[in-house]
Amino acid sequence: MNAERWQQIERVYSGALARQGQARTAFVAEACRDDEGLQKEIESLLAYEAVTFSISDWAVLDPPSTESLDRFIGQLVGARYRIAERIGEGGMGVVYRASDEQMRRPVAIKFLPQAMCRDVNRLNRFGIEARVLAALNHPHIVTVHEVGESDGVPFFAMELVDGTTLRERIRGMSMPLREALEVVHQIAVALAAAHGQGIIHRDLKPENVMVRRDGYVKVLDFGLAALRAQTPSTESRPSAGTLGSIVALIGGTPPYMAPEQIDGAPPDPGNDIFSLGVMLCELATGANPFAQTTIGETFRAIQQAPGPAQSAVSTLEPRLQTIIMKALQKERSQRYAAVSELGAQIRQLVTDIDVETAQARRFLRIRPYVAAMMALALTAAAGAFLTYRHGERIRWVREEAMPEIARLATVDRFVPAFRLIQQS
Ligand SMILES: Nc1ncnc2c1ncn2[C@@H]1O[C@H](COP(=O)(O)OP(=O)(O)O)[C@@H](O)[C@H]1O
Ligand SMILES: [Mg+2]
């Protein structure tokens, strides 16, 4: 959604809020004339009553303009990072591949575009993100090397993750179960470390997780991370419970946010547990169970959690269903107490699946062995027979019965195979 559209939504929505009853209906109908999408969006927002909306911040949440930052391509920033090419962007920063000429290693440089620097909250958040990442020294969390500024543009240098985002990896499809569990387990381990330091990510989604070529997972983008003890009021951002704070949190669509996060509750590790549950569901089924066409409908779907996920998970392995549903409970107290508990359950499921797979493999290995034994017994029987009988009967045994018995044994039809042996 572009900035203009956000502004349009804001205008019509605030106008509608200022009116009541018939006047509101008439205003919306007039403002949304010939624009069915806008009307749906406004109606969905008006219908969502749990939140007092104030969307004045939305425009700045548009993906940053990257044009001006491309001027750094080929240049040296921070006196050591040679900028190569743009590799990603989100609601806040623009990321480039670069080469650290001092250390002779590839790095990723995340810039905060100038338009965002004018917003003091954004600037603060950028600084907080760098500091949070620096404080979190964990193999599954991207490492920050240095914070700097080039030509008035703040940046930080971090390890370059050689892989793709989870969003690119899934491309709207489900992942093989074992792989999905491995990915989510690694994210859970990273989050457990962050939570252990009192840091809550609050913006977990497939765009903010990268999977390296070797399958190793790295959690990115702590741009909205919060300290557990810190209440939203310590920052001069939109107050809790306003749509401004929600969109500031999500940078677009909200289908990964916990219900209490939408309602502006203070940060809690349970927020990340819910988001991880949504991601696990999406990886396993190929779709986010709460995503709807409008923001208001998505909010409502999340407020009905875990309801909308129930049918989505119904075809999954039952133990996986239990894990997802527990992470997606609307009430925080019904979810896992800690993300490490969720991680442990996933680890246990991976172990169980591995044991079951090994058992199945052993069984399949036994099958050809049984077939070979039966063929051997048949050959012995036929050999004995040959010493007594000749002629047509021998031909039948050798050319018809024997191959048929061997075939039946291979496909596990032991009873007819035995019958044929007896006849032979
Ligand atoms: N360290 C990294 N290595 C490789 N790619 C990265 C790295 N950090 C970010 N990216 C890419 O840049 C995109 C935006 O980065 P992110 O930190 O999520 O920014 P934003 O805060 O704007 O969402 C990511 O989705 C990813 O594609
Ligand atoms: Mg991001």
For residue 401, the model assigns a pLDDT of 81
Mean pLDDT across 329-355: 97
More confident residue, 112 or 387: 112
Confidence of residue 399 (pLDDT cuts 50, 70, 90): confident
Mean pLDDT across 40-69: 57
> Lowest-pLDDT range, 2-6, 162-166, 299-303, 342-346?
2-6
Beta strands in 163-221 (DSSP E): 163-165, 199-200, 209-212, 217-219
Instruction: For residue 52, count other CB atoms closer than 10 A to its CB.
Output: 11
For residue 321, the model assigns a pLDDT of 98
CA 273 to the chain's CA centroid: 12
Q: What is the atom index within ligand 1 of the atom nearest the CA of 158?
A: 1
- Tell me which residue has its CA closest to atom 20 in ligand 1: 90
Å from CA of 207 to ligand 1 middle: 8
Ligand 1 and 64: CB distance under 6 A:
no
Q: What is the atom index within ligand 1 of the atom nearest the CA of 165?
A: 27
Residue 235: HSE in the Cβ half-sphere, 13 Å Cα cutoff: 23
Confidence of residue 361 (pLDDT cuts 50, 70, 90): confident
**What's the CA gap between 234 and 243, in Å, rounded?**
18
Mean pLDDT across 46-52: 55
**What's the CA gap between 27 and 39, in Å, rounded?**
11
- Tell me which residue has its CA closest to atom 25 in ligand 1: 207
Q: Which residues contact 331 (CB under 8 A, 6 or more apart)?
A: none
Residues with CB under 5 A from ligand 2 (ion): 90, 208, 221
| Predicted TM-score of the model (pTM) | 0.75
For residue 240, the model assigns a pLDDT of 35
Name the burial class of residue 137, with classes exposed (0-12), middle (13-18) and buried (19+) by CB atoms within 10 angstroms of its CB: exposed
Residue 26: HSE in the Cβ half-sphere, 13 Å Cα cutoff: 5
Amino acid at 168: E
For residue 227, the model assigns a pLDDT of 62
More confident residue, 10 or 103: 103
For residue 249, the model assigns a pLDDT of 45
**What's the CA gap between 249 and 224, in Å, rounded?**
6
205: helix, strand or coil: coil
**What's the CA gap between 43 and 382, in Å, rounded?**
83
Q: What tokens were used for 260?
A: 């209490």
**What's the CA gap between 193 and 399, in Å, rounded?**
69
For residue 328, the model assigns a pLDDT of 98
Name the burial class of residue 159, with classes exposed (0-12), middle (13-18) and buried (19+) by CB atoms within 10 angstroms of its CB: middle
More confident residue, 393 or 256: 256
Instruction: For residue 142, count other CB atoms closer than 10 A to its CB.
Output: 20
Which one-letter DSSP state was computed for residue 123?
A: H
- Indicate if the pLDDT at residue 106 is higher than 90: yes
Mean pLDDT across 45-73: 58
Q: How confident is the prediction for the chain on average, in pLDDT?
A: 83
**What's the CA gap between 407 and 413, in Å, rounded?**
9
Å from CA of 221 to ligand 2 middle: 5
**What's the CA gap between 400 and 395, in Å, rounded?**
8
Mean pLDDT across 307-324: 96
pLDDT above 70 covers a percentage of the chain that reads: 83
Ligand 1 and 158: CB distance under 6 A:
yes
- Indicate if the pLDDT at residue 59 is higher than 60: no
- Indicate if the pLDDT at residue 380 is higher than 70: yes
Tens of pLDDT, residue by residue over 228-272, are 544 444 443 433 334 544 444 444 457 899 998 887 788 899 999
Give catalytic residues, as residue numbers. Answer: 203
- Indicate if the pLDDT at residue 386 is higher than 90: no
For residue 1, the model assigns a pLDDT of 58
Å from CA of 424 to ligand 2 middle: 73
266: helix, strand or coil: coil
Q: Which of 93, 147, 133 lies closest to 116, judged by CA? A: 93
More confident residue, 65 or 53: 65
- Name residue, tokens 């209440």: 231
Confidence of residue 53 (pLDDT cuts 50, 70, 90): very low
Q: Which of 159, 214, 158 lies closest to 186, judged by CA? A: 214
Which of the ligands is closest to the CA of residue 210?
1
Strand partners, 90: none
More confident residue, 145 or 294: 145
- Indicate if the pLDDT at residue 293 is higher than 60: yes
